[in-house]
Amino acid sequence: MKTITEIEAELRAFDPMKYGRSRNFLNGSVTALGPYISRGIIDTRWVMDLLLEQGWSYHQAKPFLQQLAWRDFYQLVWQHKGDAINQDIRQEQVTAQREGVPAALLGASTGIDAIDEGLRNLFETGLMHNHLRLYTAFLACHMARSHWRESARFLYAHLLDGDWASNALSWQWVAGTFSSKPYVANQENINHYTSSHQRQTYLDKAYEELLEEGIPTVLAEVRPFDLKTELPASEPLQWNANLPLLVYNYYHLSPTWRCDQAANRVLLLEPEHFEKYPVSSKVLSFALDAAALIPGLQTFVGSFNQLKQVAQGSTIMYREHVLARHYQGEPDPRRLMIDEVQGDFRSFFAYWKRLEPKLMKTFSKR
């Protein structure tokens, strides 16, 4: 777990041009900021502001800003569509013949060495490179012919940077249900980006031949995804009735949020949320470690309404989020890189078309 000061020092040394050249390769120069952004410890605006401070020009920073923009885009889609992102958005997944997660993903035994190593590493560290996520999703959706949803829940559960918008919508992008066509990769592509040299596999074919045969034997079995999140015990809350309640949650663990204000600070862990979107104990531990860096933060396991009863009329403040819509109180607005570009965009490129001129203007003013 890094502190904000440590993250900042790393980001000041980060070169977005090198990122642009190398980010698709497994050993590329990516930031590993995902867990800190997804848990709401920092946000995309904070990252952009630091790039500005470092003096990068728009064109130097563009490849990186574009990836940050994917995150903001997915957040907006979630905000506008809500739970509808759990269904195929634009069209049905044409390759889906069944529900469930391929057992070979659960056991890291797909027979594709780079993917298996990536899955083992994921279980151990909670991290996975973007390209390996694409390959894994492609394998589950198109080679194993399973619907994206259960496999997405599985991957989300193991990712330190699990964010349901980025996760579900990236799966939909691969599945072809939120993009113009399904994403496909063959062994040659995997070898190129992962420095592996495997040949003679069921993926060692031309793109157009990949889906011609049936499901590879190694991907035949699918299982429902079943995981119970082991939530910590609730602490008896130390309460000061004269102070407001500041609510933190799994998506909002910012140590700088209203940090100078005297308040009752509570991390709310709602069992109902974690039943719908379970996470592994490693992933939950990361969030709890982040929570431990917020001075005076106490943990409450229960529903928002139960917490509200404890708050007994104190002003309740929280950060606006799709998953906090049932909270009552005074929400602080969410922050995007450029807040004025809002809307229900049909595609990333529709969003980017509106965002890019504003980003250029922001960088030209520095």
Positions touching ligand FAD (CB under 6 A) are: 23, 30-34, 37-38, 67-68, 70-71, 74, 130, 133-134, 137, 155-156, 159, 161-163, 166-167, 170-171, 174
Q: Is 33 helix (H, G, I), strand (E, B) or coil?
A: coil
* Closer Cβ to ligand FAD, 37 or 316, answer by number: 37
> Helix, strand, or coil here: 301?
strand
Residue number with CB closer to ligand FAD (155 or 336): 155
Q: Which is nearer to ligand FAD, 61 or 246 (CB)?
A: 61
Q: Give the nearer residue to ligand FAD in terms of CB position, either 69 or 245.
A: 69
Distance CA(246)–CA(244), nearest Å, equals: 6
Q: Rounded distance, CA 323 to CA 182, Å?
A: 29
CB of 235 to ligand FAD, least distance (A): 29
Looking at residue 332, the DSSP 8-state letter turns out to be E
Instruction: In angstroms, give the least distance from the CB of 76 to ligand FAD.
Output: 12
CB contact at 8 A, 251 and 284: no
* Minimal distance, residue 44 CB to ligand FAD, in Å: 7
Nearer to ligand FAD, 96 or 137 (CB): 137
Min dist CB 72 to ligand FAD, Å, is 8
Q: Is 212 exposed, middle or buried (0-12, 13-18, 19+ CB in 10 A)?
A: exposed
CB of residue 138 to ligand FAD, shortest distance in Å = 9
Nearer to ligand FAD, 10 or 226 (CB): 10
The residues near 167 (Cβ < 8 Å, ≥ 6 apart) are 152, 155, 156, 159
What stretches of the chain show up as alpha helix (H) in DSSP? 4-12, 16-22, 34-38, 44-53, 58-81, 103-106, 113-125, 130-138, 148-158, 164-175, 187-194, 271-276, 281-292, 304-311, 348-364
CA distance 287 to 39: 7
Least separation in angstroms between CB 264 and ligand FAD: 30
Smallest distance from ligand FAD to CB 212, Å: 24
**Cβ closest to ligand FAD, residue 148 vs residue 363:** 148
What's the half-sphere exposure (Cβ side, CA atoms, 13 Å) at 152? 24
